[in-house]
Amino acid sequence: MVQIHTDECVQYHFQIPPDSKSWAARLEAACRFLESHPALPQVPLAYGLRISDNSRIALEDRPRFLDRSLRNRHRKFCVVNARQRRVVGLDLIDEGAVIVRSGNAQPPDIFKLFVQVPTIASDLRLDLLANLGDILEAHSGFHMTQAAWWLLHNRADEKKRQRSGAPEPLVLRPLRELLALEGLEMPVLETNHGSFESAWQPELAGWINYWSEETARYLGFPDDTGGREPSEMRSRTPKGAWLVQLTPEPLDLLNPGHLRDYVRLLQRLPRLGIRQ
């Protein structure tokens, strides 16, 4: 049976080369792919989002808009379709917002890109990651379930809380207790503003991961230590990138088995993720 997540939307994180010669073509190809995918709304990404007032502006020439965005030193842009999420009573009516936007630039060799799509079936998420990664010629990419990402994001503020004396958020207590119960040591991962050691370093370990051949070599993957978890699934894309899905079902860091698999992946690949 096809499983649908409870996530309100699906977000992919990519690190792509900010090459001005191929930038517009790669992003335009990604937009066209998203517009035509049968599981998505198939509505043109015909609007730019003005950051100053959050208003939509019609794009007469999207490739030119994308090209100008990279050449600007801030490298900020956001392209959207005309759909938004809507709630009727207690039901979420997902009309299908698709968003492609830039993240924080990490000069000179790293550029972060986010792609957000409506909630889609589990078995389609890896396929979408693979296709977008190859089209964008990404160094790496990942998708993380929202609940797991939120735990990691709260945990990343640990040092700041220690300095200020702020209490631990209640949401982190079950994770801390489960790590202690399982006897696991899990590094604190940055989720927003960490410094990359290399253009090939993935920002985070996700539930599903896209690693280019160069990124895989940087990570030392596939490793020959025999440490592969039984639940871990690996495959290759047409362009030779590795796809690694950590668990068959959505990653839940409060599930003991999932947590063990996640921690062991981080232990096997010490260059995976930006660590405090």
Tally of domains within the chain: 2
**Residue 2 has what pLDDT?**
33
Question: Domain boundary residue among 138, 165, 200?
Answer: 138
> Which contiguous run of DSSP H or E holds residue 243?
strand 242-245
d(CA 216, CA 225): 15
Number of other CB atoms surrounding residue 220 within 10 Å: 14
d(CA 199, CA 106): 9
Q: Which two tokens stand for residue 201?
A: 């370093």
Question: Domain boundary residue among 82, 104, 138?
Answer: 138
Q: What is the CA radius of gyration of the chain?
A: 19
Same domain as 151, residue 74: no
Question: Domain boundary residue among 138, 155, 185?
Answer: 138
**Residue 165 has what pLDDT?**
76
Whether 70 is in a domain gets the answer yes
C-alpha angle 112/116/121, rounded to 5°?
130
Whether 145 is in a domain gets the answer yes
C-alpha angle 67/70/74, rounded to 5°?
145
Name which of 118, 100, 95 is nearest 5 in CA terms. 118
- Contact 16/26 with Cβ under 8 angstroms? yes
The whole domain housing 193 covers 139-276
**Residue 4 has what pLDDT?**
36
Same domain as 168, residue 96: no
Peptide bond into 108 cis (omega under 30): yes
Same domain as 276, residue 147: yes
**Residue 33 has what pLDDT?**
98
- What's the predicted TM-score (pTM) here? 0.91
Query: Residue 101 contacts by C-beta under 8 Å, 6 or more apart in sequence?
Result: 49, 77, 78, 79, 113, 114, 116
How many angstroms from the chain centroid is the CA of residue 33? 18
pLDDT in tens, the chain (276 residues): 233 345 668 999 999 987 878 888 999 999 999 999 999 999 999 999 876 677 789 999 999 999 888 877 777 899 999 887 666 666 666 678 899 999 866 656 778 999 999 888 888 999 999 999 999 999 999 999 989 999 999 998 877 787 777 888 888 999 999 999 999 999 999 987 778 889 899 999 999 999 999 999 999 999 765 556 667 899 999 999 999 999 999 999 999 999 999 999 999 999 999 998
